[in-house]
Amino acid sequence: MRRRLWLIAGAAILAAAALAGPPAAVARPFTEIVLEGGAALPLGDLGDDYTTPKGFGAGTGYAVGFRFRQQWISGWAVSPSFHYVKFDKFTGHRSDPDTDFETKTSLYRYGFDIEYHFPARRGRPRWYVTFGGAFLRNKLREDYIQDNSYFDDGVNSVAATAGIGVRTGDFEIGVRYTLNRFETLRFWPGVDSYDWDHLLVTVGVALPRTY
């Protein structure tokens, strides 16, 4: 499964690379808001099979959100952001008690990134790299179908992020890896540490700037 996820991310990077041109002049400083949406790829315990001690069986889901970006002539930028991330649910059956169930995992992601945008000719695609951190609210919900009961809880964590992207006009493609490890006794019995690493592959569009 992880091989397939990395192939998806690699394909997005190659598609962006096909648009890229040689570097040249830098752009003027600006402030903007970028709306983003795309695929959320679960890694670590999130994507592991549900039958493993820590696995949640999550599938590829989606991420939606926005970022505020302040960029300077030097190419450096700071970018606070918010994203809602929801992974595809896992559906299964338990014999004790006898019930079908759905396991749903999601994140509220409050990020802060430092970016460097490489020089490019005016009107040509422009590559950038990004690194930073995020405050995450990690959510787990299990719905038990037969008796209409459920389990719903969440845990906070601080994560590290790094990624790469390319910008052309008001559109951009970004790939960001989030290193998200935390400890809790609220989720699975007998398990106190989790790996909720994930990969976001997003497309962004900048809102029109009037300042």
| Across 107-119, average pLDDT | 97
Enter the tokens of residue 48: 């592991």
Domain ranges of the chain: 2-91+106-131+191-206
Tokens for 129? 């790299």
Going from the C-alpha of 65 to that of each of 45, 121, 133, 201, the distances in angstroms are 24, 29, 16, 12
* Cβ neighbours of 92 (radius 10 Å): 13
Question: Tell me: the pLDDT tens digits for 42-99?
Answer: 999 999 999 888 999 999 999 999 999 999 999 999 999 999 999 999 999 877 777 8
* Cβ–Cβ < 8 Å for 26, 195: no
Q: Distances from the Cα of 156 to the Cαs of 53, 80, 106, 137, 183, in angstroms?
A: 21, 18, 12, 5, 9
Q: What is the pLDDT of residues 155-200, one digit of tens each?
A: 999 999 999 999 999 999 999 999 999 999 999 988 999 999 999 9
H/E run at residue 8: helix 2-17
Kindly report the pTM of this predicted structure: 0.83
